[in-house]
Structure 1
Amino acid sequence: MFSQSESLWAEWHRKYSLNGISLWAVQESLSDSWAWKQILKLRPEGRNFIKPILGNGQKISFWFDSWTPLGQLIQFLGQAGPRQLQVQLHASGSAACSNTGWCIASPRSDEAMELHTFLTSIPCPVFAEATDSYVWTTSTCEEPRFNATKTWQDLRPRGPTLTASDLIWFKGGIPRNNFTMWVANADRLPTRARLASWGLQIPTQCCLCSISSETRDHLFLTCQFSMAVWRLSVTRLGEPNRLFCSWAELLSWIRGTSTAAPSILRKLVAQAAVYHLWKQRNNVLHNQIVLSPDAIFRLIDKELKNTINARSKRKQFLNLMSKWMS
């Protein structure tokens, strides 16, 4: 619509959908196609990216294009603006000029005075040789055409890198365990307490112990069932008295290292425990299948042995089996 594309689709919409009216001003019609209606709904977002550059003023809409620092003049001066300045609602920029310069009515408000002041600082378009143009503006650059990558980055800016990302994503990890740990670390697993906070009328008791509220930290760390699983797991690593009271404490332990429990082994154990505890919670809730902490640990033990054995030739996994079995 703005790049003067000669495609049949663009030409058709310019003639029949816009018919000389700015895209920002055209109203949705019942006869419009679904695709066109979706484009019209995206105008508030698109307006932030499309920057008009004033040339001879023949294409730019005086009222609806943001060709001044004041934004859309129809928004800045209000619906009474066309009557006050004596410039038609769908006029182009050049329509507000004569052979001698700008020809708009004297200001009657502070806003109109601000516009007059700005117009005196720029050349009148009637004297310009260049045509009007539009550029696609993102936070990093201006381009004559749409840039999908940079637009997406502006619409969905990247969040800060989580401090525990190196503890979650690592070479040799089990993808399903990595993912479960990632969601758990962000506290986005649908625990009962989290679901209740969304307004769902459900019980909030922990599925594993039926005593405390099922939050992430309780479910994985302080629940009696989970504590029994962790006790069995860390005993294998030579720390029989190690238990975790908070998620931050668990991450701190994973980040640590020792001769008996290097960091890579701690990552594997912690992620396997979190995955199987979450799986057991779902089995209790949805399938009424109850396993003992010893049974859960046997699943973790089997998974660790299979993982280490499959990666035994990798440098990081050398001697891990003996450390886990000791």
Structure 2
Amino acid sequence: MHYHHTEIALHYHLTLIDLPSASQTEDVYSWVVNGVDCRGFSSAKTWEALQPRESKKDWADLICSTRKTPYKDKNSLLGTKRLFILSCLSGRIETRDHILLHCGFAAEIWTAVFYKMDRHQAPFTTWAELLSWIRRSSASAPSLLRKVVAQSVLYNTWRQRNNVIHNHILLPARTTFKVIDREVRNTFFARRKRRKFKNLLFCWLA
């Protein structure tokens, strides 16, 4: 009996729905962004609408070998002031500075970097100190060398964080530093004939 009432209710509901149009004209679709018809889907215009371009960032000069000038803060480690993530070492909610500068894993890597490049450098206590260190230049550690090394350290530390969260694998800091060392060597060796990179491999190996 219940099914009979349900069938009647469904039949009544269907009688209230308007029939499809009998028009033979094909439907027309438009992709409109900010009131402008893109004449088809445009990923570039859609991205710009979702992520409006901001002013040039003051840390843009710290990006090495980039083809584009950084204009967005949200997805850049250098531009993010406070980024709360799950610490791969403590399991607590931590800040960007803790993950990339202060935690035992990162601190051990930076210590190895300072041993090769700048043995008088004290551990970074703030993100501003890291940026200041990258901008400095000396005969044994030119600014370009610092940029390449810092980017490799930040990338591989962040990669290790993801490796712990997603794969539950924690590599020793010394193993990650070997990866960084190989990346830096390969970067400078591949560009050794360029004027700016000419002596950087020697500086890193010295």
Question: One fold, TM greater than 0.5?
Answer: yes
| Aligned-partner SS, 1:295 | helix
Query: Quick one: which of 76, 83, 94 aligns to 1:183?
Result: 76
| In 1: Cα distance, 2:102 partner to 2:199 partner | 32
Query: Quick one: which of 290, 293, 296 aligns to 2:170?
Result: 290
Query: Quick one: which of 157, 162, 180 aligns to 2:57?
Result: 162
| In 1: Cα distance, 2:99 partner to 2:50 partner | 35
* Native 8 Å contact 1:231 1:241 kept in 2: no
| In 2: Cα distance, 1:257 partner to 1:160 partner | 27
Q: CA deviation at 1:213?
A: 2.8
* Native 8 Å contact 1:231 1:240 kept in 2: no
| In 1: Cα distance, 2:67 partner to 2:173 partner | 22
* Native 8 Å contact 1:305 1:321 kept in 2: yes
- Post-superposition CA distance 1:138-161 (Å, at most 9, x none): xxxxxxxxxx999x9899753110
List gaps (5 residues or longer) in structure 1. Answer: 1-29, 50-147, 176-181, 195-203
| Aligned-partner SS, 2:93 | coil
Q: CA deviation at 1:306?
A: 1.0
Q: CA deviation at 1:282?
A: 1.1
Aligned CA RMSD, in angstroms, stands at 3.5
Once the two structures are superposed, the pairs formed by residues 82-93 of structure 1 within 5 Å of their partners are: none
Q: CA deviation at 1:308?
A: 0.8
Partner of 2:160: 280
- Post-superposition CA distance 1:107-134 (Å, at most 9, x none): xxxxxxxxxxxxxxxxxxxxxxxxxxxx
Aligned residues: 170
* Native 8 Å contact 2:59 2:79 kept in 1: no
Q: Look up the equivalent residue of 1:314 and give its one-letter code.
A: R
Partner of 1:238: 118
- Post-superposition CA distance 1:215-238 (Å, at most 9, x none): 211110111110111110121102
Partner of 1:81: none
| In 1: Cα distance, 2:100 partner to 2:54 partner | 26
Once the two structures are superposed, the pairs formed by residues 38-77 of structure 1 within 5 Å of their partners are: 45-46=34-35
| Aligned-partner SS, 2:134 | helix
Q: CA deviation at 1:174?
A: 11
* Native 8 Å contact 1:255 1:263 kept in 2: yes
| In 1: Cα distance, 2:48 partner to 2:67 partner | 30
Alignment CA distance shift 1:246-1:188 (3 Å): closer
Partner of 2:187: 307
Q: CA deviation at 1:242?
A: 2.7
- Post-superposition CA distance 1:66-103 (Å, at most 9, x none): xxxxxxxxxxxxxxxxxxxxxxxxxxxxxxxxxxxxxx
TM-score normalized by the length of structure 2: 0.69
Partner of 2:203: 323
Which structure: larger Rg? 1
Alignment CA distance shift 1:236-1:225 (3 Å): same
Partner of 1:35: 29
| In 2: Cα distance, 1:246 partner to 1:156 partner | 28
TM-score normalized by the length of structure 1: 0.45
Once the two structures are superposed, the pairs formed by residues 125-140 of structure 1 within 5 Å of their partners are: none
Partner of 1:215: 95
| In 1: Cα distance, 2:67 partner to 2:151 partner | 9
Alignment CA distance shift 1:252-1:240 (3 Å): same
| In 2: Cα distance, 1:228 partner to 1:218 partner | 13
